[in-house]
Amino acid sequence: MAEPEQTSQPTVVVGVATFRRPAALARLLPELVDQVRGLAGAATVVVVDNDPAGGAREQVEAFAGSSVRYVHEPRPGIAAARNRALAEAGDANLLVFVDDDGLPTPGWLGRMVAAWLRWRPAAVSGPAVPRFEAGEPDAWVAGSGVFDRTVRTTGTLLGGASSANLLLDLAQLRAYGLEFDEAFGLTGGSDTMLTHAIVAAGGEIRWCDEAEVLDFHSVDRMTRAWVRRRSYRTGNDWSRVALALSDSGPRRLAERLELVARGAVRGATGVANQLRGVASGDVRRRALGSCQVSTAVGVVGGALGVVSVEYGRPKAP
């Protein structure tokens, strides 16, 4: 569903959902200020603070004179924060999401908007380029594939996308009656759900390979346990989204059975890769196989109603 051609530059809002990451915000906000100032059309930044205590207010409001606006969304969950960004975008043409622990490369915002101007899709997605805050991960973690940078030809049509680097055409999104599903708020996967729903409704998502965002990973993510958990959660999200988008009744039952079968095939492939990796001494193949098994367990779990909670909140002291 393409919008009519426009002669003027679109109005753009950059949305950042944040939760208790002051150091990451300190790295991100100056770059976003530079990029919105350099954009041909009108652009602003909205930071949605999902901390119930509003801990980022003072830090963000220090940029108040630089087209940056602070919004407090105390309802827990990343989907609630993202939906607040949608609401705060108002009558802007485009909303561009970047994670609070990301850092756009120079020219990122202009490239995302240019891709939208070229194809007028419902969404544009770009790559997240891994960076590690405490040295390089070990060979197993690096070889798992979890941190690989996705490479595609610019303009490629996608079936779904991550909000780590995502532009949304707000008119098309509203025409489809879509927003982030808050049932995925604490589990993760609300961006997967939204973007798959866009495609299911007939919208296009295009890839822009040149619009890179650096994706910083803290030391706690550079472990085999975290990589396996992330693989499991990815499979779990994908499975739950497929079910949520299927019709009720017999079609949903068929979808469950198909997901279980796909999970079984992926799991068998993972076990085979692990065995080959052990036999050949190939650490990368062993890691890949382990993550394939974890993804398979997540897919089957999601098909059977098991939910992975990614964004659970710690209890108050």
Two structure tokens written together for 224? 């085999």
CA atoms within 13 A on the CB side of 315: 1
Tell me the per-residue pLDDT of 108-127, one tens digit each, with 9 for 90 and over: 999 999 999 999 999 999 99
The radius of gyration computed from the CA coordinates of the chain, to the nearest angstrom, equals 20
d(CA 153, CA 209): 6
Q: What mean pLDDT comes out for the span 233-261?
A: 88
pLDDT over 60 (residue 2): no
**Residue in 8, 229, 206, 10 with CA at minimum distance from that of residue 115:** 206
Q: What pLDDT does residue 183 have?
A: 87
Give mean pLDDT, residues 162-179.
96
Taking a C-beta distance cutoff of 8 angstroms, is the pair 209, 216 a contact? no
Range list of H helices, the chain = 22-38, 57-61, 78-88, 108-119, 139-143, 170-176, 190-200, 224-244, 250-280, 283-303
Please give the C-alpha separations between residue 184 and each of 87, 92, 97, 167, 253, in angstroms, as whole numbers.
18, 26, 17, 20, 21
| 87-100 confidence digits (pLDDT tens) | 999 999 999 999 99
70-83 per-position pLDDT tens digit: 999 999 999 999 99
Determine the pLDDT at residue 312.
55
Does the global pTM surpass 0.85?
yes
CB neighbourhood size of 199 (10 A) = 18
- Tokens 């150091």 found at: 23
The mean pLDDT of the chain is: 91
CA distances from 229 to 63, 232, 264 (A): 36, 5, 18
